[in-house]
Amino acid sequence: MRCAAFFASILVGAAVAVPAQTKVSVSGQVVDPRTRAELESAREAVWRAWFAGDSASLEKLIPAALAAGAPWIWEDRTATFQGARDSGASGRRLVDIRFDSTTITLYDDLALMHARFTYVLETPDGKRTTSTGIASEIFVREDGRWVNPFWYLK
């Protein structure tokens, strides 16, 4: 969990502002279009699986070592999966999800992603709600694919 605390300290400070840039290279590594597409695809898959309560997909997308948070709330993997199951069972449906102003900082097999997000949910009776915020997420390449062990939403 020390690793998660380290990442949390980085991301909490970085989550304050998300500049509108197409790529970031603090480490000297340029984020090539293929890597960017892989990361954006992995991010969207995690969000969609969570809202759908798709535990089988989350098992593949979220490694065993997980720390997730929103202001004043930190959860482990068990709580994250329970939240996903509750979301899926609620009858709400993810209608749309968008990520704007995405920045990526790449350190070999570790990527820090920051973005503004907007998603629209629809209840079984057709009522729609829109939520917005800022996401700071860590992705790690394991066995050739990107997994998401940490995020902070504000």
Beta strand segments in the chain, E: 67-70, 73-75, 93-107, 110-122, 128-142, 145-153
CB 113 within 8 A of CB 43: yes
Task: Read off the pLDDT of residues 76-116 as tens digits, 9 standing for 90 and up.
Answer: 788 888 989 999 999 999 999 999 999 999 988 899 999 99
Q: Which fold has domain 2-153?
A: Nuclear Transport Factor 2; Chain: A, (3.10.450)
- Is the model's pLDDT at 5 over the cut of 90? no
User: Cα separation of 25 and 29, whole Å?
Assistant: 5
Residues near 51 by Cβ (< 8 Å), separated by ≥ 6?
84, 87, 88, 92, 94, 119, 121
Which pLDDT score is estimated for 150?
A: 87
Which of 10-19, 49-58, 74-83, 121-130 shows the highest mean pLDDT?
121-130
- Is the model's pLDDT at 44 over the cut of 80? yes
